[in-house]
Structure 1
Amino acid sequence: MSGPKCTTYRVDEALTAAALRAAAEDAAVREATRRREEAARQAALQAAAARDAAVRAVKSRNARIAALAVSLEGFEQQYGASVGVRPLEPLRIDAQSTSQLEDWCAEADRALAAAERELREQAARALAASLFADVAGHTAGRRPVGAAELFADRPKPSGVVVSESSDEAAREEVEQTLTRVLSRLLPDCGEGDRADARQAAARVAEATTLDEARTWLTETRLRVQRANSAAEARRRDADEAIGFLHDLENARVADVDPVRALLAEVVAGRRALDEPLRRRVAGCRAAAEAEAEQRYVVNTVTDALTDLGYQVSQGFETLTVTDGALRLSRSEWPEHAVNLVVDQQGGQMRTAVVRTAAGSGDDDAHIDVEREEQWCQDFHELRGRLARAGLSTDVQVAVPPGEVPVPLAVSPAASSTRARPRYRERDR
């Protein structure tokens, strides 16, 4: 039997970025992916993806709730009146199940839709009251009224010759249309877009003929549509930025902190998600996904080796587990260990049996061969476990046990064995 020295590995395409992030952080998910039953493995992957999507959805709703609160505050400051909309409370993601998160999102969607609709309608009534106040006369102390009520009090413009009934019907149509158009203005429209729509609506109130009023109604409708389109574009940018922030939440890659800060500005509506920022996000996401894959490979290998009876220590020489390097030992191996390096860039695992203490007897070479043969057997089992976890392997370099002397490697000055309480609990 030959001793493996260099082995390539490939991550199963079924392991999505979301599944890799979950598995890299959650030992229970890695345990499920190592089961022999393919159905159980697929179920674990689907559960991880569903959880990731649910968490992302909650973060999106929390951002909309925050934007609605800002709109409510702006309405009260502008009109000096409170509204009947009850603000929603953001959800703190804790130990809720995936189904609980999904149910909350569905309820939040209904509540947000109702709250935004009520706010739009109240804002339209307040805006109409302010626009037509000069026509309706002094309104101090009066309740906010709709445009239809105010328009009805307006004297007929001089010089317009129409019948009483047709004039009244036309005015009523204008009044109702204006109220309806203004009520479509989204509460999170930009102030510039909102002022633009208000300006056109004011021209409706100032019109001296019904034809002029209808013309400015059309213009008001177009400006409201443009304002809403801009607001919806900002919402899409914000939602996409929330997804990016979710993907980069635990990333520890270069440039990630400044990118997170810029994405937070997008979520708050203070900047656009432009192409330069998208390119920076793409670079961070690629690095974060590579980091998650690295953690998944190292953790999966570590878990499997722990199951096979190895103690996994870190910190030998100048390498750490963070860099993909491990030292493996066994309680019955007082003078031997296995050095294992995970090279993500090359997609390789390099292994070698080493001595941790110099030999002092004639049987040292024989013991070295025994350790190498045992490692070969365990490595074969390791490959099977990795395959069931979505990591296929192919041995590229192998040396027969005993052909090359086992090197002496100085033991780490302060190595630390990685604890596995999950396995202790499982064995009891």
Structure 2
Amino acid sequence: MSRRLIATMIVFFILLGLFVFAVIREEHRNMEQLRKEYPELSQDAFNLRSDALKLWAIRLPLVFILPLLLLFTGFAQRVSVFAGERFGMAISGLVVGLAIFGVVYLINLPLSFYSSFILRHRYGLTDQTLLRWLELSLKGFLINKGILALFIWIPYMIIQWRPDGWWLPMGVLAVPVAIFMVFISPIVIDPVFNNYSQLPQGQLREDMEFLLQRGGIGDAEIYVVDKSRDTNTMNAYMTGILSGKRIVFWDTTLNNLQEEEVLSIAAHEMGHYIRGHIWKGILAGSAGIFLVLYLMNISANWILGASGGVFGFRNIYNYASLPLLLLLLNLFLFLGNPVTNGISRYFEREADLYQISLAQDRESAVTAMTKLYEKSLGLPRPSELYKFWYSSHPPIEERIDFYRTEEFITFGGEES
């Protein structure tokens, strides 16, 4: 293995360590300032944030360390050889994919259990049973990673066809797949994890339908999902496109908010659809797919050339390269976080403006947002560094100020 590759890995992990240190330092400084500005905040909110930061500081390096271990230990190569000697291309891909994804899943399982079960019970964020947690965890692995492993032979076939330019046809294939998933996920995949039902007839449904009509999307379905089985926090979202669009409320949201607050949240979710955020997200994501695949192609070929065969293979179209591709995917997604989250915050701001303009109700937007954050033990804001790199939504203190001061717009886009 070349000295340049070794030096690159050392420098990367040094920079990653410095990044983790900087984020934790800035977050703790921010929390000390919040204690002074918001003395009424519960200690649990600060404790939860501290515990979450510790977990983040462990998990971030792991997404890079685990693929490297699978490469340097020769595990990926041994599994690839085992599968290749016994099966054809499709079944070999399935075996290798399940083996590698399975190892990563099992290594991460204790951290996942601690973060999403133990901590959430400790702070009263869930009443979920252990059996239910295991059910969702296994379903998530089988659906997300199982389906990926089942079809992993297709991208590898493309890589074998064009080992130096595979990123372009792979990107062309990935875009319609992503669009297809937007269509089928609400209808096929989401109900595997939770039960969805139509919002019952009554005043709330009538007011919701009227709001949807005002927004020009009266054909959208209105669903309630039984998230109280898994969490005590609240949320809502709008998903799907064309005839498959639907607005979905967690039952916890309906159980904890006043009707005016629910309608305000509905207006926000409608804003995402009306402002074309789904399609804009698909377009931005498509551009991102091509860029990430291009960078992965360049990086993977350079690493293999500089590795000197230490991984046990020299060709990217070998199934043993899967951890290498996962490593690079994690790297470029991590580096792209500021861009993707910056776009997301911009979309949220547009939806917030649509929310107060459609509902003509500033106070319900404020109280609903306040209750959402209080129920999830959220803090009024993160540090600027964390916000820049990880926040997909504006901080609550910014959103409340925005709700109270921003001028309404008409649906034509002019100020009223």
Same fold at TM > 0.5 = no
Question: Under TM normalisation by the shorter chain, which class is it?
Answer: under 0.3
More helix by percentage: 2
More strand by percentage: 1
TM-score (norm 1): 0.19
Q: Which structure has the bigger radius of gyration?
A: 1
